[in-house]
């Protein structure tokens, strides 16, 4: 076998290893996503389902204070989801210190809360809905969601 043939075979071997690594990583990521969804997707989906039912039956217009527990439970549910995702990711990423887990889940929840308020504002402008009742309402919604996230973060126990 000459030098040129060896380089060709070596290149094929490197390419094979690269493709195998990528496919193995995709499988692990898929398994992580499925495990996270199985363990914890019920929480944010439950709050979102309640929210949709409330919209359909105009509960938020009839009982404006109902918005408060919905945002609080939304903060709890999405933090629970992020904590689960972080826990599941450790199976292929390695251990993550508990403090980092808590901070990361909390900050991801804060970002999700902000994006949710963007969604409410966009719907009001695009479709003429009345989800946002002013700046004070938006700030209070975000504060209540963060309080839900903080409550779960402080009460969460490592398993």
Residue 32 neighbours by CB under 8 Å, 6+ apart: 85, 88, 89, 91, 92
Closest listed residue to residue 96, CA positions, set 83, 111, 81, 86: 86
CA angle 36, 37, 38 (to 5 degrees): 90
Q: Kindly report, residue by residue over 87-99, the tens digit of the pLDDT.
A: 998 887 788 899 9
CB count within 10 Å of CB 83 equals 24
pLDDT digits (tens, 9 = 90+) for 4-57: 544 555 556 665 655 556 566 777 788 888 999 999 999 999 999 999 999 899
Residue 100 CA to residue 9 CA, distance in Å, equals 44
Q: How do the domains of the chain map onto residue ranges?
A: 33-155
Q: What is the pLDDT of residues 85-140, one digit of tens each?
A: 999 988 877 888 999 999 999 999 999 999 999 999 998 999 988 888 889 999 99
Q: By the 8 A CB rule, do 150 and 106 touch?
A: yes
Task: Please say whether the beta carbons of 60 and 67 come within 8 A.
Answer: yes
Q: SS3 helix, strand, coil % of the chain, rounded to 5?
A: 85, 0, 15
Per-residue pLDDT tens digits for 25-38: 777 788 888 999 99
């Amino acid at each position: 076998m000459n030098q040129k043939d060896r380089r060709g075979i070596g290149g094929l071997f490197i390419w094979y290893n690269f493709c195998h690594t990528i496919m193995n990583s995709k499988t692990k990521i898929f398994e992580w996503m499925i495990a996270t969804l199985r363990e914890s997707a019920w929480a944010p989906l439950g709050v979102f389902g309640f929210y949709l039912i409330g919209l359909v039956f105009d509960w938020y217009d009839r009982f404006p204070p109902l918005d408060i527990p919905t945002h609080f439970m939304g903060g709890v549910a999405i933090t629970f989801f992020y904590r689960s995702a972080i826990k599941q990711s450790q199976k292929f990423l390695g251990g993550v210190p508990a403090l980092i887990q808590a901070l990361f889940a909390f900050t991801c929840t804060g970002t999700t809360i902000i994006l949710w308020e963007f969604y409410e504002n966009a719907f009001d402008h695009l479709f003429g809905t009345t989800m946002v009742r002013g700046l004070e309402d938006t700030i209070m919604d975000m504060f209540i969601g963060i309080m839900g996230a903080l409550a779960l973060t402080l009460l969460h126990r490592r398993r």
